[in-house]
Structure 1
Amino acid sequence: MIRTTFSELLGIDVPIVQAPIGAASTAQLVAAVSDAGGLGMLSGSWREPDELRALIADIQSRTERAFGVNLGLAWDQAERLAICLDAGVPVVSFFWGDPSTFVEEVHAAGAVVMQTIGSAEDARRQVANGVDVLVAQGWEAGGHVWGEVATMALIPAVVDAAGSVPVIAAGGIGDGRGMAAALALGAQGVWLGTRFLASIESAAHHVYKGAVIAADEAATAYTTLFDGGWAAPHRVLRNSTYRAWEAAGRPAQGRRPGEDEQLATNADGSAVRRYDDAKPVEGISGDVEALSLYAGQSAGLVHDVRPSAQIVFDLADEAERALRRALSTFGE
C-alpha cells in the first residue's frame, strides 16, 4: 500500500485524486472513488446553489469517506463556498485564481484547502497564503490548463518551492507508471481527469468516452478555440471542428467555420453551439463528436471504460509494481 503525507492528511487509503472533470463529475463517481480509498472531487464552479446542495447531500448519502468540491475562481464563489462549508465538505479545491481571501474561512470550518498552480512562483505564493495542498498542473493536462510547463519539469520545481506542503501531480498521468514517476519526482499524490472521464460513473457522453478511448498521445491540442462561455486556454481532442478550423488557416473568432452554428441540444432544450465550452454529457443530442472534447495527453493510455473503483485499485497496484521494478534495478 502506497501511503504519503497527503493520504495521511486526508485519511484516505491511496494518494489518488479524481479530478473534477466539469459536468461529467457525478455524485456516483465522487462517492465510488472515495469509497475505493481515493479522493473523489465534485465540480461545483458553475452549478446552481440548490443543485450543489443536492449533489453534496447525495455524495454524503453514498460514502462516509473524505471527498472534495472544486471551485473555479474565475467566478464569484462566496455563496458556493458557504454551501460547501455549511454541509461539512472536508476538502475544498480552488482553481484559476487566488484563494487567499477564502483560506481562513475554510480552515475555520475544519476543512482542507487545495489549490491548482502552474509554477514554482505560484507554489511559493500559495504556501504563504496558507494553502494545505498544492496541485501542480502540467501543460499535458486536459480541460482548462493554468500552467505552461510540462509535468516532468514542473513537479520537482514545485516540490522544492513547497517545503513541507504536499504537492499533487496533475497532467499526463494515465496509469500506475505515471503515478510512480510522479512519486519519484517528489509528489505526494496524483490527480487524474481523463482516465476517470472514461469510467462507468462519469456522465460524459458515450461518444465522448469513445473518442477518448480511440485517441493516442498525439491526438490533443492546446488551444483557446472553444471559447463560448469561458475564453481560457484548454486541451481538447482534435475533432472535426478543430480540423476544419485548422484547415481554414486558424481564423480569429468571428471568422471561424460554422461560427454560431447550433450543433446539439442539451437535455433541458438549450442550444449548444460549435465553439461553446460545454462538455458533452449523456442526455445531449446532436453532433457530439464536433463539440469540445476535453482530454489530456494521457488519453493514449486510456483503452476502456471501467468502474471508477477499479481504476483506483489498478492505479495503486500498477504504481506499486512500477516502483518495485525501479528499485530492483539497483545492485547490492
Structure 2
Amino acid sequence: MKVISDASRILAALVLASALASPVNAIVVFEFNYLDAPGVGFNDFTQGADRRAGLSQAASYISGVLGPAYTATITLDVVGNQTNDTTLASASSNFNLPFPGNGFGSAGDVMLKILGGDAADPAPGVADGVVDWNFEDFSWEPLSDFQPGELDLISTATHEFTHALGFASDILQNGNSGFGDTPGNASAWSPFDEFVAFTDGSSIIDAGGVLDGAKWSAASIGGAGPAGLQFNGPNAVAAAGGPVYLYSPTTWLGGSSGSHLDTDFYQTGLGQIENMMNHEASVFEGLDIRQYTMIELGILKDIGYTQLVMMVPEPTSVLIVLAGISTCLGVRQRS
C-alpha cells in the first residue's frame, strides 16, 4: 500500500464524488426504515443526517452498477445499535422463499426482487433485509471529511450491501446447507455456491446440489490463495486472468470464511489488489475503496446480475483491475 500525495487525494475525491453521484437511469431504489430511537445511531441528533446520507450514497452507487435493466424497490430495516466490539457492521437479505428444490435457487428476498421485479417479492409488505451498525465501538466518517481515527462508512456500507445482493455462501462450517442437509445429500444452495470450488477449480457442489464433504473439509480451511477455496464463475475468472481465491483461513471464521475474497492473497500475493469484497478493508482509518473491481463485477454477473452497466470482460478477455486508493494505516475486519 502507499501513502498518496495531497494532489492525489484531491483527484481521488473528485473521482469518488463522480462515482457516487446519483445515477440518472438507476431504477433499483433502496428505501431505508431507520428504527433507532431519537438521538441514537442513524437518528443521532448531530450526525444522524450525515449517516443516513452516507448509506444513501453507497446504495446509489450499487443502483448505478445494476443499471436500468432492473426495476425494484428494496426496503431495508436499519439499526445502529450493534454492540459486538469485533463487528463493524452487517447487512443481510431476508429469506422468505420456501424450499426452492435442490440446486442453486436459494436466493434471498433482495436478489429475488432485483432479478424478478417487485412482483417476485416472496413477502410483500415486509422488509427485504436488515442493516446493523456499530457506533458504540467505532468512530465513523459518514461522508468524506475524515478526521484521525474515523472509518469509512460509505465503503463499509457498499461492502455490506453487496452481501445482501447475494455475494455470500450458504455453506456452513461442517458442510451442511442452510436447510440442514449434510454433505453427500442433495440440497438447495445460494447462486454464489454454484461457483464455490476446490483448489483445482472443480466445483464443491455438483449440478444436483450434492456437496463433496472431503473437498469442502480440505479447502474451506486450506489457507491463503491456491491452498483454499476458489470461485470458478467464468466471468470472474476471465476478469482475474486466472483463479479467483476466496477467504479460507486455517481456522474457520464464521460469517467471513468462504463469503469474501481472500485478503491474505490479494493484499500480499498480487501486489495488494484492494477488492471491495476482500475479507479485510484496505485501511484501518480514513478513505477506503468505494468501487468494485472487475473481479467483483464478474462475480455479480456469474451469480445472476447479467445486465450490469459496468460490464465485465467475456471469458478469454484480458485482465482489467480498478486499483483502490488508500492510506497505509493497517486493516480492519468486515463481515
TM-score, normalised to structure 2's length?
A: 0.26
Q: Say which structure is richer in strand.
A: 1
Q: Say which structure is richer in helix.
A: 1
TM-score, normalised to structure 1's length?
A: 0.26
